Structure 1
Amino acid sequence: MSKRLCDIVASFCGLLLLAPVIAIVAWQIRRKLGSPVLFRQMRPGLNGEPFEMIKFRTMRDAVDVVGNPLPDSERMTPFGSFLRSSSLDELPELWNVLKGDMSLVGPRPLLMEYLSLYSPEQYRRHLVRPGVTGWAQVNGRNSLSWEKKFELDIWYVDNHTFWLDVKIVFLTIKKVVLRDGINEGGEASMSKFTGTK
């Protein structure tokens, strides 16, 4: 079975089986954080082509006196932290997988602004579809340095197989249960990539 066919079957079954969970999470976000329920952002996909990634929203709207968004740590709520630590915020990405924007397993889709900062070797992470989970996620997630994360991404690009993907999925479930490697140094999210020095 091809990787794409596996993605279609897995994402369709996941959306079907997890529909009650997705509905409950969406209702709780609407009640606790308001609208919109979904967070949408353009991310680079296969070969760096942009696509709209969707996740559940985890932060409240909060701005300073001139209208600029407050830092992530000030906009994050306990409920949002729970969504991230449990990876429930990632569930809508199954729709991206079904559409073909993403794969179940692959390098995580990062920000469009990073494309110009990659070395030629780091850019190779875009030779495969980005994933809901990946080799870097099961080997440290946000506790890794950017350089180590990219190293693991490139290793996956060069070595991915069906059985490696199965292993990564099961290791991901284990990581989620243990809530391991969720953020870096207590920050709400990973610090920004500024290029390899």
Structure 2
Amino acid sequence: MLLKGLFDKIASLGGLLVLWPVLLICAILIRLKMPGGPIIFKQQRVGQYGKLFTMYKFRSMTVVHDGSYISVAGESRITPLGAKLRKYKLDELPELWNVLIGNMSFVGPRPDVPGYADKLEGEDRDVLKLKPGITGPASLKYRNEEELLAVQDDPKRYNDEVIFPDKVRINLEYLNTWSFWRDIKIIIYTVLSKDLD
């Protein structure tokens, strides 16, 4: 895991240096198209060993809404610009800062909002040994999660009873079979939007 941590530091710094024009353009577009709110969306998420940290993303929703923490494609709270940012995962670019400062890794389980970690029991809690990631095997499988939830009669129930347990299973397998080269493969497959073998 030492190699993983070293890679995270170097790659996140390199990513921020190379992608700063994209970050700037996204920030300008959010300011112009979505005025009246912050450019960066900040939220408390559950990190490694269950410790809370602040995750940074580009804002993709209206400032005032009464939606849940489950995002569904086509929701009115997601702005037209926000939908494009989310489609191409540009809203997640600020998470490179989280990786640089050590709250997150490039590859790992997506960080949940507080409450979901409390549902983990037994060996399922081992997933908290991992730093949350920008991408991961579960993220690849459910990269169209918002579209999948949009066709469910009860998106929250489907997430809680089907998607969340499956993600825990996938993340436990990732923990138990981790290798640096598999991390690289996951990153490449994420960029190419391919399913993991």
Aligned twin of 2:152: none
Aligned twin of 1:129: 131
Q: SS at the partner of 1:41? A: strand
Letter of the 2:3 counterpart = S
Conservation of the 8 A alpha-carbon contact between 1:122 and 1:154: yes
Q: SS at the partner of 2:26? A: helix
2:97 to 95, 98, 103: 95
Aligned twin of 1:163: 181
Aligned twin of 1:184: none
Superposed, 1:73-88 pairs within 5 Å as 73-88=75-90
What is the CA distance between 1:33 and its match in structure 2? Answer: 1.3
What is the CA distance between 1:116 and its match in structure 2? Answer: 1.4
Distance 2:22 2:12 in 1: 15
Q: Deviations over 1:143-162 (max 9, x none)?
A: 57222111111111111111
Q: Deviations over 1:141-197 (max 9, x none)?
A: 32572221111111111111110000000110011xx8x9xxxxxxxxxxxxxxxxx
Identity of aligned pairs, percent?
41
Distance 2:138 2:67 in 1: 29
Aligned twin of 1:14: 15
Conservation of the 8 A alpha-carbon contact between 1:38 and 1:54: yes
Q: SS at the partner of 2:187? A: helix
Superposed, 1:1-197 pairs within 5 Å as 2-34=3-35, 35-63=37-65, 69-70=66-67, 73-141=75-143, 142=145, 143=148, 145-175=163-193
Gaps of 5+ in 2: 149-161
Conservation of the 8 A alpha-carbon contact between 1:62 and 1:70: no
Distance 2:124 2:28 in 1: 39
Normalising by structure 2, what TM-score?
0.82
Distance 1:80 1:120 in 2: 38
RMSD after superposition: 1.8
Number of residue pairs the alignment of both structures matches: 172
